Each structure stands twice: as C-alpha cells, then as structure tokens.
Chain A
Amino acid sequence: MANLFLNRRQLLSRTAGAAALAGIAPGLLHAQGAPIKVAAVYTVPVEQQWVGRIHIAAEAAQARGDIDYSFSENVSNADYTRVLREYAEGGAQLIIGEAFAVEQEAREVAAEYPEIGFLMGSSFPPDEALENFAVFDNYIQDASFLTGIIAAAMSQTGNIGMVGGFPIPEVNRLMNAFMAGARAYNPDTEFQVAFIGSWFDPPKAKETAFAMIENGSDMLYAERFGVHDAAKERGVLAIGNVIDTQADYPETVVASALWHFEPTLDAAIAAAKAQEFKAADYGVYSFMEHGGCSLAPLGTFEGKLPAEAAAMVQDYMEKILAGTYTVEIDNSEPSA
C-alpha cells in the first residue's frame, strides 16, 4: 500500500523528468539569471483554497530565488484593473491573477502593456492577437476522477452528496470527473447535487450538506468550506478538493484531489525569463502528467480502502500518467 500513491515530491520529480524529455521548457526548474518581478492580484484572501495554491507556489518560487513576489488580496472586481495597472507601472515582469469576472477589462490592460506577461485564471481561451495574455485554471480532473473511485468504494449507501458554490466550468469539470470516477467503480451510484450561490457561506454549505445526509448520503464531495463540518458532525465521510483537509478532519476526509500550481508557475517563469512568454493555455500544467494535480495521501484511511478500489485507483493513475487514459473534460453543469 505504501507505494500506491505518489507523494508530491515524486510527482514533481517525474514531472521535471518528463518535461525535460519532452523538451517543453529546458530551463523549467533551473531558470537562470536574476529573479524576475512577479505580482499577483487576488479577488479573495489568500486563505481561499484556489488562490491559496497559487500563493504557495509563488512563495516557493521566491524562496528559491527565482522571483520577487508581491501580491494584493481581496481586491474587488471594480478595483481589479486599477491594481493590475499599478503593478504594471511598478515594473512587474509577470502578473498573475484571476480574470473570471473581468475578462474583457483584464485583456484591455494587458494590451496596454505588451512587454509584461499576464498569466490569468480564465474561463476563456487565449487570444492569439493578444500575445502577452496567457490563461490557466485548475484542470485537476485527473485527481478528481480518482477521488470519485474512492468515494464510491467507501460509500455504503451508494448515495453521494455534492455541494458546490456556483456551476462555473472550474467547478463543473471537477464534479463531472468525480462523478465519472464514482460511476467507473459503481455504475449505480446516486448523486445529490446542489449549488449554494456563494463562495463563502460555510453555514449555508453546512445546512445543504445536512439536508443531503438526511436524504441518504453517507459520502460528501466538499467543494466548499462547511461541508466537511457537516460530515464530521453527522459521522459520515467526505472527499476534499484542491487542498488536503484531512489534518483537520482525520476521521472524515478519506481522500483529496490536490491542485499544484507549481508546474504552471514554473513554466511561466521560465518563459518570462527566456523572453518567450506568449499567449498560451497553461491549463495543461494542472494535468496529472505534468504534476499539476495529485491524490493526497490516504493518511488516516490508509488500508481502509477495499483492495479492489485501491487496485483500480492505481491502475487508472498509471494509465493517466502514461497518457493511455484521458479523463473527459466536461464543463457542463452537473445534475444528479
């Protein structure tokens, strides 16, 4: 069981090997020269899961001496372009952010500063005409698929509850991949899907999760804060998303699908240092084969997974890493 799941270091070293072999970015992990100035603009506090992953990767890159990192958090969308401009005027060479709610405005700012690289979380593809505007997102469907297998295997009732914020592509494709994984293990798995219409309302997420548990779910997919707490209070299990939450809920969280922003950021830093930053979709760097996502260690649930499911997870992981199995990217709104 010990070597069933790769830890992050193994994944990253594999990634480095794979990337070097493929010749995607020769300087990926050993970027040369002085640190470049990187600025990040976040619309939420860095405690938020999604933004937190970016923040951690940037701090790591700064610790390595690759970048000079500065950031603004909790910037409202109305203020967003002003802050972007401030960093652009301040000499940033690479600006990271999230353009989801300000797609057009962010692109307009990027057009004004063609010499600066913009790496933006976005629901839209890059635009060839806007050469310095690249997009990324958490394409961690590979890991979500694997957690789906585990969820279905650990559920006694075969009824899985899923609480999400809003049905946007970032959320949908992970939910869909999770559901595909669960159905791969048990085609009869039933789902309860709900969206709470808010990113930060843990009491509401908790209430919604309670309702699902009362309605037969014994396994919850936690897209939002609050769902784990409901699961813990009622003694059912849960699956984490983007970050590993098992330390806080050792008896509740079976597995988590982790997002690693490091490959995305390192690729962008390398490109910026080589003066080759251009419009591209960095989404692929979140794929498992690039080390952009992984299954968190089972930890407290080590050995509690049915052998059949463990073998299935291992099998799919190898196929995904080898490129012989591709988890479908489905951005449509999931329904039960």
Chain B
Amino acid sequence: MELFDILVSATFWAAVLRIASPLIFATMGELICERAGVLNLGIEGIMVAGAFAGWIAVYAGLPLWGGVAVAFGAGVAFGLLHGLLTVPLGLSQHVAGIGITMLATAATYFAYRVALPEVSSPPKITAFQPTGWAVLGSQTVLTWAALATVAVTGWVLWRTPLGLALRAAGENPAAVEAQGLPVHALRMGAVAVGSGLMAVGGSFLTLSAFNSFFFEMVNGRGWVCIALVVFGAWRPGRALLGALLFAGFDAFQIRLQQTSLGAGLPYQLFLAMPYLLSVLALVVMSRRTEVPAALMTPYNKGER
C-alpha cells in the first residue's frame, strides 16, 4: 500500500515541517494584523521583501540571526506604511494592501539590481543547517522558531492585557477607546509586528529552505496564508493546524506523483491538490467562525 507507506515515513513528516515553516510565520503575522482589525494584503510583497532583505544582509556579512532581524525590520517598515494608510488615514484596506504588495515587490527588485548590478546568478550564502538534534534533527532552528512563534502569539493574545486590548481593537474599538487605550497605536503596532513576522516567513525561504534569492520565489505563499487565517478561525493553534495540513497535502502530492497512481494522472492535478483540499477544509472548518467584528473597519475617535 503505497499511500500508507508515504504517510508513515519519517521523511514525509520532516518535509511537512519544512514546507509549513514559512507559512506558519506569515500566517501568525497576518493573524495578528487581522485580530487588531486590519486586513494586510501586503503579505505577498512583504514576504518577497523579507526574503531579499534577510538574504542580502547575510551576504553582506551579518550572522544568520542578524539576517532574520533585518528581514523583520524590513517587514516592520512596510507594515508601518500599510498601517499609516489604513489606520489613521482610514483608506481601503484592500487597495492599500495590494498597493503594498506591488510596492514591496518592485522596491525589492530595484534594491536587488542596485545591490548586485553585474551578477550571472544570485550569490549563495551559508544558510541555517539542520540541527542534527535527536528525533527531529532534519529541521533547522528557524522551523522551531516558527513553532515557538505560534505559542508566543497565542499566549500574548489570550493571556496578557496587551492581547486583550489588541483583540478588542479588532472587535470593538470604541470600547478600547473608552478604556483610555489608544486604538490607532494598538492597530499600528499589530500591523508592524505582524508584517515583521511575514517578512521573517519570507526570509525562511532564503535563509533556511534555500540559500539564495530568486525574484519570484515566494510564489503565492502569502495568499495561502490569508486563507489559512480564515481556516484557523483567527486562532493561532488552528491556523498552525491549517499550515501543517496544507504542507502535508503538498508533501503528499510530491510523493504521490511518483507512485503508479501518479503515472496515470496529469501533474497539474497533483499541484492543485493542496489548494483544492484546503478550500474543502476551509468550507468545513470555517462554517461557524467568528470574524473579528471590526475587521476592515477604520476607527476614528469620536465618530459614530
């Protein structure tokens, strides 16, 4: 039974974690933004910028964790721009987000050309190596950081006053205001930190999954994370499950292609499988979810 063999092999589960890691970072980033009431469609572009920023920083001589920090910083910068447009200025979050994606993508390409005007192929760095720890040694330390991010996000959002205030800013900003807390600052902060996490997710691709930067390598992963937030019903644990499920479908289809079943079916069907199954799971999972009530609603002090 080939299908069963795939599912019980340790290498399959190692692949699931590898594929899921960038998605986990970026999904947590998007979840934080949306919990505070701001949809961030800049995610795809911010991931591109993060992938580039982390990689070029390491190439310039910084240590790997320095690269992660630079990527986070680049994400925060774009996050602040998105926050400025959507929170105090109250512009359409869809339009601003798409604009951020286009801006971040184009700015990344520009920076790439300025930094490396004459290259035959993008230079390689020494990426994070598998830790070699017992049992789960085939993962890099950045994968564990991704899992830790989920725990920290969950803890902050549900176990701290800050988390309560952030979630309230996404549910009922007027109540937050009545408590004397600054709605705009909370939302801006959430978008900045969330965007930073998205950029770290992008940098996973260049600092761990691969060791070089290619322009189109994010390849729609950001959009997947938008769906994963919905799948996870805006809860970190369930979003993690969604990311693992998506990655699982992906790792599974790659292996399935090489079985006798794969020989008979067009490869496009397999490539579409993680998306199709995720849509299906989305339908099943999100039937009774509660969307943050003030998501995509700008808040202006004193306005009724």
Which A residues form the contact surface with B (CB < 8 A)?
A: 44-45, 47, 52, 56, 74, 167, 192, 194-204, 206-208, 210-212, 214-215, 225-226, 229, 243, 248, 335-336
**B267 and A206 within 8 A (CB):** no
**A203 and B267 within 8 A (CB):** no
Q: Which residues of B are found within 8 Å of A336, using beta-carbon distances?
A: 258, 263
A248 to B217, CA, bound (A): 20
Partner of B15, one of A56, A210, A215, A226: A210
| Interface contacts beyond A47-B121, A203-B19: sample of 11 additional A-B pairs, CB < 8 Å, sorted by A | A47-B120, A47-B122, A56-B120, A167-B267, A192-B258, A198-B216, A201-B217, A202-B217, A211-B251, A211-B255, A214-B9
Q: Is residue B283 contacting chain A, with contact meaning CB distance below 8 A?
A: no
Partner of B251, one of A198, A199, A207, A212: A207
Partner of A212, one of B109, B258, B271: B258
**B219 and A204 within 8 A (CB):** yes
Count of A-B contacts judged by CB separation below 8 Å: 81
Shortest distance between the CB of B124 and any CB in chain A (Å): 7
Shortest distance between the CB of A256 and any CB in chain B (Å): 13
**A214 and B11 within 8 A (CB):** yes
**B255 and A47 within 8 A (CB):** no
Shortest distance between the CB of A59 and any CB in chain B (Å): 10
Partner of B214, one of A167, A196, A225, A335: A225
**A47 and B254 within 8 A (CB):** no
Shortest distance between the CB of B276 and any CB in chain A (Å): 14
**In the complex, which residue of chain B has the Cβ closest to the Cβ of A191?**
B258
Given contacts A47-B122, A194-B257, A211-B254, contact A201 B267 (CB under 8 A): no
Shortest distance between the CB of A27 and any CB in chain B (Å): 30
Q: Is residue B210 contacting chain A, with contact meaning CB distance below 8 A?
A: yes
Q: Which residues of B are found within 8 Å of A214, using beta-carbon distances?
A: 9, 11, 255
In residues 104-122 of chain B, which contact A (Cβ within 8 Å)?
109, 119-122
A47 to B18, CA, bound (A): 27
Given contacts A206-B209, A211-B254, A336-B263, contact A200 B216 (CB under 8 A): yes
A196 to B217, CA, bound (A): 12
Q: Which residues of A are found within 8 Å of B267, using beta-carbon distances?
A: 167, 194-195, 197
Q: Which residues of B are found within 8 Å of A202, using beta-carbon distances?
A: 209-210, 212, 214, 217
